[in-house]
Amino acid sequence: MKYLYTLLILLLVSCDEDPTLSNDQNQGDDDITTIDDKVRLSSIQIAENTASNIVTNIDIVYDNDNLISEIVFSGQQSKTYQFQYAPNNQVINYTKIENQSTSSYSIEYDENIITSSNVSNPNQIQQFEIDNFNRVDEILSRTTSSNGSVIQENSEVFDINANFNIERITYLENNNTTGFSDFTYELNDNPFKDMNDIIRLLVFKDFIPSSRFLPLTQEEYDTSTGSIQLVQEMIYTYNLNSEGMPVSREISTTNNGISSTSYNLFSYL
């Protein structure tokens, strides 16, 4: 039993590391033939009230190297992300087009911190901190003044369990805890599992894409008033294809006593 447990842990680590988070610039230089069995989303549709009432389409475009080159939101949300890569497949630049305005960002990799900077406004940065298992475990957003003093700093800290699922996200504003989200899981597969982690968190963070599985329940708590208050609860129900991948999920949300239903529809290449 001891050896079986060790083997399972090794398998978990090997499945969830994203090599593009590493600062090794020589990755991908070895001439090794591998079978490409990665999961690639081609689109996501978001529906409200009924599964047929589509309000947002998300189309994911790949280049000749099967890297995501563009993500286009249309409908209630209208925005486009475009990505550029280094030879080792790390994202090094991206642009975001929204409301006829284009913002450009550069990404730098340094040890266990990845920094995304707004090219036109370098006083706005976003940092992704990497743990010993090569996973993002904290996202920090910071705005500074022209002299470098911090004006605003928000962070999201991920509590990741031994199964590589995020159990809690703690939200901080200027080092003060303002709330947290708790998650439970069931066995399903994650449509985002083979996606570049930086793209997952830049574009699809609301889907909780960086866990091994997608969540079964999600509870949002507010602590800004000094007491813990449950403000929103979400229950997810999944439909899986023959390979165990979600093709749709129903999201039942209760927010301050008001209930609503929405849907995510997943399509794959």
Residue 23's pLDDT is 58
DSSP 212-247: SS-EEEEEEEE-TTSS-EEEEEEEEEEEE-TTS-EE
Residue ranges, the chain, pLDDT below 50:
1-16, 25-31, 33
Instruction: Report in angstroms the alpha-carbon separations of 52 from 45, 239, 262, 269.
Output: 10, 15, 10, 21
CA dihedral angle for residue 200, residue 205, residue 210, residue 214, rounded to 10 degrees: -120
Residue 169's pLDDT is 97
Kindly report the number of other CB atoms within 10 A of residue 268's CB atom: 14
Single out the residue of 108, 139, 105, 110 nearest to residue 124, CA to CA: 105
Does the pTM of the predicted model rise above 0.95?
Answer: no
Over the stretch 66-106, which tens digit does the pLDDT of each residue have? 999 999 999 999 999 999 999 999 999 999 999 889 999 99
